[in-house]
Amino acid sequence: MSKLLRIETNKHIPFVVRIVESGDKYGHNDSLVYDDRRRTRGDALVEFYDARYNHTKYGQFVSRYYRSTLLRQRGRGLFLNEAAEAWQIDAETMADIRQWLLSH
């Protein structure tokens, strides 16, 4: 299964959502390796990238959350960065993202 989801918000902003599991590289230039043993076993990271920009191979990095945090907040959208109006995920798009996360 792919660890990437390409999705568009109701404001037509394309995002790439990426799952980072234990042992996966992440961070600037993939310079870090995620080790979930120190915090919560089996809780993957979920990264959000604005796909309109070429800052990384996925787009411009916006934010990162634990999968469990995103799965707990049902029926809501998500403000990835309150300073950037475009970086908001509406409730319907978040429902699609949560459904995808449940299948991974």
Per-residue pLDDT for the chain (104 aa), expressed as one digit of tens each? 689 999 999 999 999 999 999 888 998 888 888 987 766 667 899 999 999 999 999 999 999 999 999 999 888 999 999 889 999 999 999 999 999 999 98
pTM of structure: 0.90
Q: Which domain holds residue 28?
A: 4-102
Counting every residue written for the chain, the total comes to 104
Q: What is the pLDDT of residue 39?
A: 63
Q: What is the pLDDT of residue 50?
A: 98
Residues with Cβ within 8 Å of 94's Cβ and at least 6 positions away in sequence, in order, are 70, 73, 76, 77, 78
Q: What is the pLDDT of residue 103?
A: 92
